[in-house]
Amino acid sequence: MLFNPTWMESKPADGENWVVELPEDPAYPMEIILDIIHGRFERIPQTLGLKDLRDLLVLTKKYDMTGIVRPWCSQWIQAARNPYLGTDDILRSLLIAYELGDEHLFSLRLEDIALRAKVDEQGRFNYPASVPTETIRSFSGYDGSVDDSSDSDDSDSDNSDSDDESSHDKSGDYHTTFESSEKNSNAILEDEDHVGPQDVLHIISSIRETLLANLVNLIHEELDSRLRSNPHYCGSTR
């Protein structure tokens, strides 16, 4: 793309200074992508906060290169499997599971959202806050199978420097998950960007319609059974 003259970001033919501007692409996830494609593997983080991972996968999908994260995806996805996530992170984990091909996690998140979302007066899906903030605080240190004990000597000094940097080092990745989850407010799915596949709202509607139809069928079957065993079941017996 950068060497194709039809693109605005491509290398200028007149030899002028070449500066590629990507204002819509978050800097840290883009830095990770560039490190991967240029072979600087020693700079690739072993863990990522869910916001950074979601943003990274949005970029790899945008540039049709999600396959480059395969060596790290089994490590990175551990945070998305945390059962004690807040609303924002549950929605992020839905997209993460979809992009990384974790069918089980995708099904769990989709089922939870479909069952718990309510339709508001404007006909929009309102996904409620998932768990109490106190619960999130209690489990905010969850890190799946990641073992960062080898960095324990450095973690105290690293964390004392800056809270802003903690989300990008090994000892602080899950603080990002906690901070974004602590808000834990309701989410309007129609207003969310990058939730999952393009037809995710249609999928959620289909799940809800199927569940409702199954419930109605069960009620009808129960009523029919009772009527067969007691023809006067719905009539007055007094």
**Is residue 229 situated within a structural domain?**
no
Task: State what percent of residues in the chain have pLDDT above 70.
Answer: 68
d(CA 28, CA 96): 17
Q: Do the domain assignments include residue 92?
A: yes
Please state whether beta strands 118-119 and 125-127 pair in parallel, antiparallel, or not at all (unpaired).
antiparallel
pLDDT at 193: 83
Mapped onto helix, strand or coil, the DSSP state of residue 125 is strand
Number of domains present in the structure of the chain: 1
**Band (59; pLDDT cuts 50, 70, 90):** very high
pLDDT of 25 > 80? The answer is yes
Q: What is the largest CA-CA distance in the chain?
A: 98
Is 156 a member of any domain? no
CB 125 within 8 Å of CB 189: yes
Would you place residue 228 in the very low, low, confident or very high pLDDT band (cuts 50, 70, 90)?
A: confident
Report yes or no on 10 lying in a domain: no
231 located within any domain:
no
Residue 71 lies in a domain: yes
Q: Inform me whether the pLDDT recorded for 50 exceeds 50.
A: yes
Containing structural domain, residue 176? 27-143+163-223
- Say if 107 falls within a structural domain: yes
Q: 41 lies in a domain?
A: yes
pTM of the model: 0.66
- Contact residues for 139 (Cβ-Cβ < 8 A; gap 6+): 82, 84
Whether the predicted pLDDT of 229 surpasses 50: yes
